[in-house]
Homo-oligomer: A and B are copies of this chain.
């Protein structure tokens, strides 16, 4: 059932008997590049999710809930609409970072069903989810800023650091723009599962159904646990500024 049909984002409830299960379908042209409007619609979709959660009765709320994001085609997301972002500056970057922080601490479990490439801004969007399932045969996860020649904003480096545990993988990701194919991503612990394309959404739904009860009650419990778990990341996303290396002038 389509819960919200926005121009660039569809919000779907894939199972009428489980009204707190949501699929956020990214549909901003073929590449899902992040623009002001795309970010705004994702935030609207998250608002709708929270409204729906708040409307559930106690019995339904006891089942918890979960959110999947995915798309179709070659790209999960090919990153920021970089020319627009550079022109718009903070009026783009600040809402984009707020969206990452909101997703990172969302009050129900979240699963990225990575259907294709997740580059840069799209990689960080995937990292903002609790779990990542990836199409096995094609697609790369990568932070290719180093190859494009763009330094990283504090909150952007922070969200990558929160999700890539090993210093060497982090280095390969940020300093060389290493393209993790699904098997690399799995062995580096960047994704949780690699599956055939036709099993991607089903696998994500399995995760979602299994994890949903952890949000039982649909309170702010998981939001607050995630907030403390990613405390330093949240601080940098929401108040780290948008100047790469800007902190150094204050030392």
Q: Does A244 contact B (CB under 8 A)?
A: yes
CB-CB contacts of A9-44 with B at 8 A, as 1s and 0s?
A: 000000000000000000000000000000000000
Q: Does A79 contact B (CB under 8 A)?
A: no
The answer to whether B221 and A146 touch across the interface, beta carbons within 8 angstroms, is yes
Distance to closest chain B CB from A129 (angstroms): 10
Q: A157-B229, A229-B174 are in contact. Are A168 and B189 (CB under 8 A)?
A: yes
Interface with B: A48-56, A198-206, A233-241, which one?
A233-241
The answer to whether B167 and A228 touch across the interface, beta carbons within 8 angstroms, is no
Q: Does A154 contact B (CB under 8 A)?
A: yes
Q: How many copies does the complex hold?
A: 3
Residues of B within 8 A of A219 (CB): 149
Residues of B within 8 A of A163 (CB): 167
Distance to closest chain B CB from A126 (angstroms): 13
Complex alpha-carbon distance, A247 and B234, angstroms: 10
Q: Does A74 contact B (CB under 8 A)?
A: no
Contact of A166 among B131, B153, B165 (CB under 8 A): B165
Residues of B within 8 A of A189 (CB): 166-168
- What band does the interface of chain A fall in when counting residues whose beta carbon is under 8 Å from B? 35 or more
The answer to whether B170 and A221 touch across the interface, beta carbons within 8 angstroms, is no
Complex alpha-carbon distance, A216 and B176, angstroms: 11
The answer to whether A228 and B152 touch across the interface, beta carbons within 8 angstroms, is yes
Distance to closest chain B CB from A99 (angstroms): 15
User: Which residues of A in the span 134-177 have a Cβ within 8 Å of any Cβ on B?
Assistant: 145-147, 149-154, 156-158, 161-168, 170-171, 174-177
A152 (CB) vs chain B CBs: closest residue: B228
The answer to whether A170 and B245 touch across the interface, beta carbons within 8 angstroms, is no
CB-CB contacts of A69-87 with B at 8 A, as 1s and 0s?
A: 0000000000000000000
